[in-house]
């Protein structure tokens, strides 16, 4: 046995021991759960395709904040600004923030040329009156998303030239968006710190000594600093929501399968999600609508009085999600719940003990599927894969089919538990991260290692495929952002987005836009 294989077997042993405990849970059940495949998970989403709960939520008042897509669209429609103005401003911020490492490539000349072609065109003049909803809006994409004619690095030493655009970018482009550039990311999207051994570390603009989170690190930093109005990220174990939380912006992990993953370098097919990062709930909803092709449908009648969310049931999980947090993280999530209650919602305490099984089962799925995705790269050029990633891929390579089936059985148990939960509540509120961003190389303030600590609260919703929206919710003692997740039932993406819009309209979303420039 080679040293590498022996090391992989040794690292796999703790996972196997945890799976033995999962098996003991199965043995206590009246019937052994059947494996829940990704296809069945997607079928649950599209069977509901939500909108039932969203349609019951009244439309919140709209007052676009500066720096949002909504405000930019209003300026374009009124002739106060042009697409050139928007692109030039975004590029100026991106140039000022080069030290943050948010971009692997800026399309400076190309983006300006596209903006100039749009400026003064009849189509641009119709902005906001039935025109393409993102006309002239500069956006970025994580460099794991194919864009025709550009190189996709996937944050690795294995680049490829994209012959066609992924539907995720194609839809945004058809809606009129201008591509500002491609964002830095963790290698193969396999990590949460924002450190890339090939292209360099992405830095948190609120404190460049601290991590930005990952793997969609560059996307979140670009949005937080105004280097464009939004970005497309991917989320396999929290890779949209973790950096969105640590940088103080919105990030949606949609329902599984709601946004096409075609043309996006995979990591784990049954856990991967593609979704938007933005600076407001309304912007996030617009980007999701374009990315998915879904429509929110009509909102409920506009509410009168101080309790517009009467009838909405907010689940607060007393176990798992509210354990091992710093005080400020708990306070941030509690503040979101309290704001919803002030708006008329009912607070419902819930428990989901089955979620304790999700961590090990999700890890087994992620490691096994990633090992298959990267099998040829690992065999042909192992030295071109960083040691941290290679170790995880090696572990996936030694796990068995029986291990994989146990993980899929665990998925059935956990997903069914959440399905029952969402018969009793309309939304679940939980912290996004247990603590704010630590300094690079340091553990979290909860003393947890970075990877398991940051994945712990967000990973269950990749495992179950439920829509989870990260919203800015507060700050820790050093002033770093903290977030909370609004989680909905299968396909209920617009329901959580509408609730976030109510929070935003009522001043319950604390945000600070950091400067992209270097510290004084």
Query: Could you give the domains of the chain?
Result: 45-354+412-505 (3.90.1300.10)
Is 296 within 8 Å of 289 (Cβ atoms)? yes
Residue in the block written with tokens 């550039």: 181
Please compute the mean of the pLDDT values over residues 199-227 and round it to a whole number. Answer: 98
For residue 520, pLDDT over 70 is answered with no
**How far apart (Å, rounded) are the C-alpha atoms in residues 258 and 44?**
11
Is 259 within 8 Å of 233 (Cβ atoms)? no
- A 10 A CB-CB count for 49 gives 16
Q: What proportion of the chain, given as a percentage, has pLDDT over 70?
A: 96
Tell me the pLDDT tens digit for each residue of 434-481.
999 999 999 999 999 999 999 999 999 999 999 999 999 999 999 999
Question: What per-residue confidence (pLDDT) applies to 47?
Answer: 79
The residues annotated as belonging to the active site are: 142, 215, 239
Is 172 within 8 Å of 232 (Cβ atoms)? yes
Q: What proportion of the chain, given as a percentage, has pLDDT over 90?
A: 89
Tell me the pLDDT tens digit for each residue of 39-58.
999 998 887 655 567 778 88
Question: Across the chain, how many H-helices and E-strands are there?
Answer: 19, 13
When pLDDT is cut at 50, 70 and 90, the band that residue 88 belongs to is very high
Which residue, among 134, 128, 131, has the nearest Cα to 83 in the 3D structure?
134
Tell me the pLDDT tens digit for each residue of 10-21.
999 999 999 999
Tell me the pLDDT tens digit for each residue of 292-330.
999 887 777 766 678 999 999 999 998 899 999 999 999
Which helix H or strand E contains 22, and what residues bound it?
helix 3-27
Please compute the mean of the pLDDT values over residues 394-412 and round it to a whole number. Answer: 97
- pTM of the predicted protein model: 0.97
Tell me the pLDDT tens digit for each residue of 73-85.
999 999 999 999 9
Average pLDDT, whole number, for the chain?
94
Half-sphere CA count of 161, side-chain side, radius 13 A: 2
For residue 280, pLDDT over 80 is answered with yes
Question: What per-residue confidence (pLDDT) applies to 129?
Answer: 44
């Amino acid at each position: 046995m080679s040293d590498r294989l022996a090391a992989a077997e040794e690292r796999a042993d703790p996972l196997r021991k945890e799976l033995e405990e999962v098996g003991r849970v199965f043995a206590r059940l009246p019937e052994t759960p059947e494996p829940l495949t990704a296809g069945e998970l997607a079928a649950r989403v599209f069977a509901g395709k939500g909108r039932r709960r969203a349609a019951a939520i009244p439309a919140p008042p709209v007052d676009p904040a500066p720096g949002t897509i909504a405000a930019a669209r209003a300026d374009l429609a009124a002739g106060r600004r042009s697409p050139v103005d928007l692109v030039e401003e975004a590029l100026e911020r991106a140039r000022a923030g080069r030290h943050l490492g948010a971009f692997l490539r800026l399309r400076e000349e190309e983006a300006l040329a596209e903006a100039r072609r749009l400026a003064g065109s009849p189509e641009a003049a119709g902005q906001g009156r039935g025109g393409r909803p993102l006309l002239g809006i500069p956006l970025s994409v994580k460099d794991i998303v194919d864009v025709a004619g550009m190189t996709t690095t996937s944050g690795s030493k294995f680049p490829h030239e994209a012959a066609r655009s992924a539907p995720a970018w194609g839809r945004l482009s058809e809606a009129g968006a201008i591509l500002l550039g491609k964002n830095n990311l963790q290698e193969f999207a396999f990590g949460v710190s924002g450190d890339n051994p090939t292209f360099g570390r992405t830095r948190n603009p609120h404190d460049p000594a601290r991590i930005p989170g990952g793997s969609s690190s560059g996307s979140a930093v670009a949005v937080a600093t105004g280097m464009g109005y939004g970005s497309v990220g991917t989320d396999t174990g929290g890779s949209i929501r973790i950096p969105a939380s640590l940088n103080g912006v919105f990030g949606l992990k949609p329902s599984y399968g709601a946004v096409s993953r075609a043309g996006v370098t995979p990591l784990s097919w049954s856990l991967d999600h593609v979704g938007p990062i933005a600076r407001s709930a309304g912007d996030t909803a617009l980007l999701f609508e374009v990315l998915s092709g879904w429509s929110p449908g009509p909102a409920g009648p506009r509410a009168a009085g101080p309790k517009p969310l009467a009838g909405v049931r907010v689940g607060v999980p007393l176990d798992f999600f509210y354990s091992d947090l710093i005080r400020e993280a708990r306070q941030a999530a509690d503040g979101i719940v309290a704001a919803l209650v002030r708006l008329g919602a009912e607070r419902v305490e819930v428990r989901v003990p089955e979620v304790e099984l999700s961590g090990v089962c999700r890890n087994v799925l992620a490691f096994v599927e990633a090992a298959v995705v990267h099998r040829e790269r690992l065999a042909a050029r192992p030295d071109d894969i960083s040691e941290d990633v290679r170790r995880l891929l090696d572990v996936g390579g030694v796990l068995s089919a029986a291990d994989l089936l146990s993980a899929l059985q665990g998925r059935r148990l956990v997903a069914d538990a959440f399905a029952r939960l969402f018969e009793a509540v309309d939304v679940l509120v939980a912290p996004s991260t247990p603590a704010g961003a630590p300094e690079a190389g340091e553990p979290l303030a909860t003393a947890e290692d970075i990877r398991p600590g940051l994945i712990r609260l967000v990973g269950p919703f990749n495992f179950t495929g439920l829509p989870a929206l990260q919203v800015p919710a507060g700050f820790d003692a050093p002033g770093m952002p903290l977030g909370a997740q609004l989680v909905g039932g299968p396909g209920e993406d617009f329901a959580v987005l509408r609730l976030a819009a109510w929070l935003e309209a009522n001043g319950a979303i604390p945000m600070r836009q950091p400067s992209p420039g270097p510290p004084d």
